[in-house]
């Protein structure tokens, strides 16, 4: 009986991945529910414990209870551990253990790793995982140290080190959790260039994906980037700069956001809020005070999200690039989709459409349902659902007011978003089979 289940789970790497995530969330829920995890006087319900565990494991950062004031250092440690495991991918962590135990990594485990890191080929996957851990820990250590140095100006060294560690790991993993209390995120540092620039660099490094990071590290020697890295880097640059310009344009006259700041701080805040939706979830301003146009812009930045194989969510920068190029190709009457002098395979285009449309459909349906269960404006609901599904973690304030069914739906969206819609499809669906015959081509009128 149990063996049958084990076989069913093991038969499909995507299935193992999805179930692994679910198990980690379950363990996290139990740990957060321990009396030692919450401060005295705080009564954490099972639902809120599960919500917090899911949000941390899916590196989303939507919070129903304030991380800084409701949890003890133990509880905060659990959250940080879930972020680290969820961010790096539980299989990556699992492999490290296997390495340390000098056990051979099996083919099945390699297949799961491949799914987890979204890598096209099996070759070198273990080498990549070792690099992932090395780079991630190096960047996190450097980030934590730099944060700690800055925080020492405001608090005692011990607390500054702990805060540095928490925010270094949380920001690099695009997790969106913070310890500053009262759901304020990094508001206290809105005019601080050091904290802003450090956060922006950590967020971008975390959201590029490990393949791109490895490519960048090798660049001084190899003097070339892979096609994938070129696309991810150029889209990141384009979206970051384009988003910042639009935010600046929409908000510089808004007295509740950028208005009162100096030009330098305005540019800094615009840049942070352009980077953060894809999909870090930190903020230095009150998002509910942004203009509707800016909020709508953030929704689309969240929807596009980070690059594949990273800690971030969304449909991914490369998907967005393929779709844009497909549109341009049709408009220019070309039948090939060309990117950096390479032709794209047809099945990549179909995959890009599938990811995008499925994501869009899911956001639409869940927004519709939450519009009924929650008594909030449409913008707040759409923003929250998109944020959950893209594991972005930004909120216009709906999270804490969510009804019971609302919390469960938002949890489900974080889970779907982190596991990835395609992975989930393959996890649930039947094995792809070859059709026995092909149908004749038919004509249909479009548009």
Within 108-127, the residues that bind its own copies by CB under 8 A are 118-120
CB 350 → its own copies: shortest distance, Å?
Answer: 5
CB 210 → K ion: shortest distance, Å?
Answer: 17
Which window, 51-59, 94-102, 267-275, 377-385, contacts its own copies (CB under 8 A)? 377-385
436 binds its own copies (CB under 8 A): no
What does the alpha-carbon distance between residue 185 and residue 85 come to, in Å, rounded to a whole number? 22
Q: Which of 314, 393, 420, 421 binds K ion (CB under 5 A)?
A: 393
176 binds K ion (CB under 5 A): yes
CB atoms within 10 A of CB 41: 6
* CA distances from residue 282 to 153, 242, 349 in whole angstroms, order as listed: 21, 19, 32
Which window, 44-52, 174-182, 325-333, 407-415, contacts its own copies (CB under 8 A)? 325-333
CB 189 → K ion: shortest distance, Å?
Answer: 18
CB 128, CB 214: distance < 8 Å: yes
Which window, 106-114, 198-206, 216-224, 310-318, contacts its own copies (CB under 8 A)? 310-318
87 binds K ion (CB under 5 A): no
Residue 98 or 246: which CB sits closer to its own copies? 246
* Partner whose binding site includes residue 72, from K ion, its own copies, none (CB under 5 to 8 Å by kind): none
Residue 15 or 316: which CB sits closer to its own copies? 316
* Partner whose binding site includes residue 369, from its own copies, K ion, none (CB under 5 to 8 Å by kind): its own copies
Q: Which of 348, 397, 408, 412 binds its own copies (CB under 8 A)?
A: 348
Residue 375 tokens, joined: 């008594």
Which residues, numbered 379-418, are part of the site for its own copies (CB under 8 A)?
A: 379, 381
Peptide bond into 279 cis (omega under 30): yes
Which window, 23-31, 176-184, 252-260, 420-428, contacts K ion (CB under 5 A)? 176-184
Phi and psi at residue 253, in whole multiples of 5°? -100, 5
Residue 98 or 379: which CB sits closer to its own copies? 379
- Site map (CB under 8 A) of its own copies, residues 416-435, x = contact: ----xxx--x---xxxxx-x
Residue from 37, 68, 56 nearest 159 by CA: 68
- Report which secondary-structure segment, H or E, holds 338: strand 338-339
Q: Which of 369, 397, 408, 412 binds its own copies (CB under 8 A)?
A: 369
- Site map (CB under 8 A) of its own copies, residues 280-299, x = contact: -----------xxx-xxx--
Residue 182, C-beta contacts closer than 8 angstroms, at least 6 positions apart: 66, 68, 69
Which residues, numbered 107-166, are part of the site for K ion (CB under 5 A)?
A: none
State whether residue 71 is helix, strand or coil.
strand
Q: Which of 3, 41, 158, 333 binds its own copies (CB under 8 A)?
A: 333
What does the alpha-carbon distance between residue 424 and residue 440 come to, in Å, rounded to a whole number? 31
Q: Which of 252, 354, 397, 408 binds its own copies (CB under 8 A)?
A: 354
CA dihedral 401, 405, 409, 412 (to 10 degrees): 110
CB 85 → its own copies: shortest distance, Å?
Answer: 22
- Report which secondary-structure segment, H or E, holds 339: strand 338-339
270 binds its own copies (CB under 8 A): no
Burial per residue of 238-269, b for 16 or more beta-carbon CB atoms within 10 angstroms, e otherwise: ebbeebbebbbebbeeeeebbeebeeebbbbb
Q: Which of 86, 94, 143, 281 binds K ion (CB under 5 A)?
A: 281
Which window, 34-42, 135-143, 175-183, 356-364, contacts its own copies (CB under 8 A)? 356-364
- Chain centroid to Cα 10, Å, comes to 26
For residue 373, count CB atoms less than 10 angstroms from its CB and return exposed for 0-12, middle for 13-18, buried for 19 or more: middle
* CA distances from residue 171 to 76, 165, 337 in whole angstroms, order as listed: 15, 10, 35
CB 408 → its own copies: shortest distance, Å?
Answer: 18
- Give contact residues for K ion (rule: CB under 5 A): 61, 174, 176, 281, 393
């Amino acid at each position: 009986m149990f063996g049958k289940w084990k076989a069913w789970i093991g038969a499909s790497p995507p299935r193992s991945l999805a179930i692994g995530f679910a198990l980690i969330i379950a363990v996290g829920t139990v740990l957060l529910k321990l009396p030692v995890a919450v401060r005295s006087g705080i009564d954490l319900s099972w639902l809120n414990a599960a919500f917090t565990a899911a949000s941390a494991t899916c590196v989303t950062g939507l919070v129903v209870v304030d991380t800084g004031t409701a949890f003890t250092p133990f509880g905060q440690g659990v959250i940080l551990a879930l972020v680290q495991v969820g961010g790096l991918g539980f299989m990556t962590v699992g492999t490290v253990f296997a390495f340390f135990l000098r056990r051979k990594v099996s083919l099945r485990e390699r297949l799961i790793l491949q799914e987890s890191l979204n890598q096209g080929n099996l070759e070198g996957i273990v080498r990549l995982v070792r690099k992932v851990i090395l780079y991630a820990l190096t960047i996190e250590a450097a980030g934590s140290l730099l944060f700690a140095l800055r925080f020492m100006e405001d608090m005692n060294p011990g607390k500054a080190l702990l805060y540095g560690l928490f925010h270094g790991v949380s920001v690099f993993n695009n997790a969106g959790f913070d310890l500053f209390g009262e759901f304020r995120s990094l508001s206290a540092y809105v005019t601080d260039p050091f904290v802003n620039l450090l956060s922006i660099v950590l967020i971008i490094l975390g959201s590029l994906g490990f393949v791109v990071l490895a490519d960048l590290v090798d660049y001084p020697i190899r003097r070339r980037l892979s096609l994938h890295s070129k696309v991810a880097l150029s889209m990141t640059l384009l979206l970051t700069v384009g988003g910042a310009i639009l935010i600046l344009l929409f908000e510089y006259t808004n007295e509740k956001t950028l208005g009162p700041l100096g030009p330098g701080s305005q540019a800094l805040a615009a840049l942070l809020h352009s980077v953060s939706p894809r999909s870090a979830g930190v903020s230095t301003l009150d998002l509910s005070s942004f203009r509707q146009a800016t909020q709508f812009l953030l929704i689309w930045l969240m929807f596009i999200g980070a690059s594949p194989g990273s800690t971030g969510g969304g449909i991914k920068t490369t998907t967005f690039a393929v779709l844009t190029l497909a549109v341009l190709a049709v408009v220019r009457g070309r039948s090939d989709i060309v990117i950096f002098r390479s032709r794209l395979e047809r099945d990549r285009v179909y995959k890009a459409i599938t990811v995008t449309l499925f994501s869009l459909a899911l956001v639409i349906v869940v927004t519709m349902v939450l519009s009924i269960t929650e008594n909030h404006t449409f913008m707040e609901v759409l923003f929250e659902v998109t944020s959950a599904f893209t594991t972005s973690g930004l909120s216009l304030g709906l999270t804490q007011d969510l009804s019971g069914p609302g919390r469960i739906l938002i949890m489900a969206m974080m889970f779907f978003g982190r596991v990835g819609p395609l992975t989930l499809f393959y996890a649930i669906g039947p094995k792809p089979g070859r059709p026995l015959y092909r149908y004749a081509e038919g004509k249909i009128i479009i548009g």
